[in-house]
Structure 1
């Protein structure tokens, strides 16, 4: 399954969201979602951020792809670096959100695929 997420930089922090649905309720993740048929990855990310957070972003560039098996389902998570443009965050799919500094990221209970991304982020000037 293909999933797309955004490392969304807002002011001096990164946006992460806390899941409210099972499985993995209360885990934190970078915002995004599943690729729909006929959609490009960038279209998917724009749609998901609009639907789930009601925000608009600039998708600056592709960052990485990581794969992880969640309960027998192979997920290929394509990650893009994004800059927040506008919109007041309104949650439709998550319990809560946080705008945090990179140094705080691994203190949160992240989904395993997101942990892999977080560890790769430390080498980027984008977030420092």
Structure 2
């Protein structure tokens, strides 16, 4: 099974985190943490900064690694490094996602998370 390595930003603003809804592809309409694939020669942190600039027109500061999620989808294995992040400059402009929300700890279960992303929710809830 093919492994896809990606990074995800858990963008935090005080007691809220930023979630996006996929606007394309096999998992369209599912909710996820923004990010994307790691390109050859990139560190996960550099990939995350690049992806957030591309997808949200926003510069972020990448914080500590929360977890690396290993998840088997039917056609591929996902390895996702998930980092805390905060906005440095920009306004989180949606260039690829169809929707976005700031969620409090109590609202984390209010969206339909993609299967790999949902495995991170309990760890985030503890930190918020």
- Assess same fold via TM > 0.5: yes
| Residue 60 of structure 1, CA deviation | 1.6
Match of 1:43 in 2: 46
Q: Give the SS at the match of 2:84.
A: strand
Aligned counterpart, 1:28: 31
In the alignment, structure 1 residue 105 sits paired with structure 2 residue 108: yes
TM-score normalised over the length of structure 2: 0.92
Partner of 2:21: 18
Identify which of 83, 86, 96 aligns with 1:80: 83
Aligned to 2:118: 115
Q: How many residues align?
A: 125
State the partner residue of 1:7. 10
Could you state the TM-score of these two structures normalised by the residue count of structure 1? Answer: 0.92
Distance in 1 between the 2:56 and 2:86 partners?
14
Misfit runs of 4+, over 4 Å: none
Looking at structure 2, the residues matched to 29 and 4 of structure 1 have their Cα atoms a distance apart, in angstroms, of 11
- Correspondence 1:89 to 2:92: yes
RMSD after superposition? 1.2
Structure 1 segments unaligned to the other structure (5+ residues) = none
